[in-house]
Amino acid sequence: MELKEAAKPRLPPGFRFRPTDEELIVHYLRRRALASPLPPAVDIPDVRILSHDPSDLLPPGFSEQERYFFTCKEAKYVKGRRANRATGAGYWKATGKEKPVAVAIPAAARGGQGQGQAVLVGMKRSLVFYRGKPPTGSKTDWVMHEYRLAGAGLAPCRRAAAQDGDADAAVSRPAEGWVLCRVFRKKKGSAPSAAASPVEDRSDGEETGESESAGAGGPGFIDFFARADAAGRRRRAASPVVSSSCLTDASPERQQGREQETTSRGA
């Protein structure tokens, strides 16, 4: 199957297909599971994801940065429930646990009694593509969000029977095997320069005196010898008791000696 942009009615210029998780499940995945038609301007093809490389699903030069597909879940084993994630060139690996997708129903829609309630309609799982064979595959930038129906999303739908003008409602149940996939390539964020920021933070936080004396023009000069002399002066000024005590103890002896010399001279 060739993945090309279908010749369907497109959205007007300036509009982009950016649905929320709730809208994807309620208005698109549930419609596909019920075999109901989608809006004509929305192109979500049926594709077997495991038969294609991510670069084929979203080739270079594609008009959008992401693409949506419908596909059916495949079991890895005949009698097992584990999903098959292997492709021809690699495999999709799930990251984390499934996240519930709920729709908020206001109290007015339920007869105006009580408060609004969140109703579960589906589940969302994130997967990353690895090239090679598990568990030694190399991680890539390709990411896929997989949506499936759950809770109220699997509730039967009543339809009016079209045969013989019968107005009785016919019950239709959504097929559980359908999932909706959102495929895109994760952008690599530009990391900030780690060489300049620590130096700037350290100079601003520690050497405030030098930065103020140097002015706002350029980097300040740190005189370590002047700093050592200042530290020595602070140590000498902090211990005046030792020197004063020595002078105080010696002064009476000197005075007594002078008195003895004066008495001997007078005699």
At residue 253, the pLDDT reads 53
Asked if pLDDT for residue 168 goes beyond 60, the answer is no
Residue 251 covered by a domain = no
The whole-number average pLDDT for the span 52-71 is 89
CA gyration radius, the chain: 40
CA 182 to each of CA 45, 118, 174, 187, 256: distance values in angstroms, whole numbers, following the listed order: 12, 24, 20, 15, 104
Residue 11 covered by a domain = no
Residue 125 covered by a domain = yes
Higher pLDDT, 199 or 166: 166
At residue 221, the pLDDT reads 46
Per-chain mean pLDDT for the chain: 75
Residue 12 covered by a domain = no
At residue 28, the pLDDT reads 96
Say which CATH number the domain at 67 has.
Answer: 2.170.150.80
Distance CA 192, CA 197 (A): 9
At residue 169, the pLDDT reads 58
- Number of residues that this document lists for the chain: 267
Q: 124: closest CA among 155, 82, 104, 95?
A: 95
Residue 258 covered by a domain = no
At residue 59, the pLDDT reads 84
- Residue 74's domain comprises 21-157+175-185
At residue 230, the pLDDT reads 60
pLDDT tens for 223-260 read 545 555 665 666 555 555 444 444 444 455 555 555 55
Residue 134 covered by a domain = yes
At residue 248, the pLDDT reads 43
Asked if pLDDT for residue 203 goes beyond 60, the answer is no
Residue 163 covered by a domain = no
Q: How confident is the model at residue 39 (pLDDT cuts 50, 70, 90)?
A: confident
Would you state the structure tokens that stand for residue 163, as one six-digit string?
A: 């045969």
pLDDT tens for 85-144 read 999 999 999 999 999 999 998 866 666 666 678 999 999 999 999 999 999 999 999 999
Higher pLDDT, 49 or 244: 49
Residue 120 covered by a domain = yes
Residue type, 210: E
Secondary structure of residue 14 in the 3-state scheme: coil
Q: Which of 7-21, 61-75, 81-95, 116-130 has the lowest mean pLDDT?
A: 7-21
Tally the domains of the chain: 1
